[in-house]
């Protein structure tokens, strides 16, 4: 079945899917077909997979636990099962299968929760003061935190950021091949420009080993940062700042959007900043603040204009 998976992923690549998306699709499909192989060793071709097998796999996901021993979230179940559904629909569309065994399968509902994975203004200020900018590593980390908070970049977007994509004199940068393989221009605030310039002049110029490397943020060996290293750095800095919640680069992205919303930025401007294809994606990140909602409620609800009858 490797041949069909490769053809599907190649087609997704031609349609502009990002490398990270293709990787997650491959992992989801491998997970499904490995499960099929273990539970139905007699199956030799995809056409032998029927609706009952897919339904059983869906139940398997529902009953499974994460590596931390907790039940898989509806979001995770939706993501892993969704790739399987899209794959089979593609197989039918490409006339590689006559019938789609997933046609009657319904994906789990994704919960619409208000996340706590963002910081208040005071918490951000404490976080930014933690790195020791008198050290090379501290100066690099401060520049990273400033950009994550100022620009709302994703983990992968920050790690791929190139020197040639920076315009420090005018205060902006270009995000290349963001989600959906789309480029976008993002403004850089004064603090982000300041610490980025210091890092480029004092740290990167000495850490770089390969002069052909255009990547902005490097480790001490002159190599691009890894996904896990960036997450670990943000988590550690938040912990040292006395923040009890788990904060990741994505949490700083959410913080950027939430605090801009509190500052009365138009949600469409936030959509452009974050690089969301649709406004609905931005609305998930930027729920209406309860303080603003209370003001509107007090101003507009008829009951708020009536005197209180105490008897």
Report the catalytic residues: 154, 179, 250, 253, 276, 285
DSSP per-residue string spanning 36-80: HHHH-TT--SGGG--HHHHHHHHHHHHH-B-TTSSBPPHHHHHHH
Q: Are 158 and 249 in contact (CB under 8 A)?
A: yes
Residue 187's DSSP bridge partners are 172
Q: Are 119 and 257 in contact (CB under 8 A)?
A: no
What six digits make up the tokens of 37?
């192989």
Q: Are 9 and 174 in contact (CB under 8 A)?
A: no
Q: Which of 118, 144, 114, 76 is nearest to 283 (CA)?
A: 114
Angstrom distance (rounded) from CA 60 to CA 107:
14
The dihedrals phi and psi of 296, each to the nearest 5 degrees, come to -65, -40
């Amino acid at each position: 079945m490797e041949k069909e998976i490769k053809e599907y992923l190649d087609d997704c690549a031609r349609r502009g899917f990002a490398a990270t998306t293709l990787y997650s699709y491959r992992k989801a499909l491998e997970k499904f077909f490995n499960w099929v192989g273990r539970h139905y060793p007699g199956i030799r071709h995809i056409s032998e997979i029927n609706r009952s097998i897919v339904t059983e796999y869906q139940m398997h996901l529902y009953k499974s636990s994460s590596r931390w021993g907790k039940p898989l979230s509806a979001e995770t179940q939706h993501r892993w099962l969704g790739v399987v559904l899209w794959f089979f629909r593609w197989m039918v569309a490409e006339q590689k299968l006559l019938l789609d065994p997933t046609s009657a399968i319904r994906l789990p509902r994704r919960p619409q929760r208000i996340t706590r994975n963002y910081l208040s203004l005071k918490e951000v200020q404490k976080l930014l003061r933690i790195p020791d900018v008198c050290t090379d590593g501290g100066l690099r980390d401060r520049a990273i935190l400033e950009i994550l908070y100022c620009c709302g970049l994703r983990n992968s977007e920050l790690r791929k950021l190139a020197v040639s994509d920076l315009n420090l004199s005018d205060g902006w940068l270009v995000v290349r091949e963001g989600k959906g393989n789309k480029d976008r221009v993002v403004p850089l605030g004064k603090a982000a420009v300041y610490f980025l310039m210091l890092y480029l002049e004092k740290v990167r110029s000495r850490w770089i080993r390969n002069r052909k490397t255009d990547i902005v943020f490097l480790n001490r060996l002159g190599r691009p940062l890894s996904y896990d290293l960036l997450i670990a750095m943000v988590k550690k800095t938040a912990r040292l700042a006395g923040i009890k919640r788990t904060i990741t680069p994505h949490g700083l992205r959410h913080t950027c959007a939430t605090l801009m919303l509190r500052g009365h930025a138009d949600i469409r401007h936030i959509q452009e900043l974050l690089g969301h294809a649709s406004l609905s994606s931005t609305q998930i990140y930027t729920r209406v603040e309860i303080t603003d909602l209370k003001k509107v409620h007090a101003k507009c609800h008829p009951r708020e204009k009536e005197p209180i009858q105490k008897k």
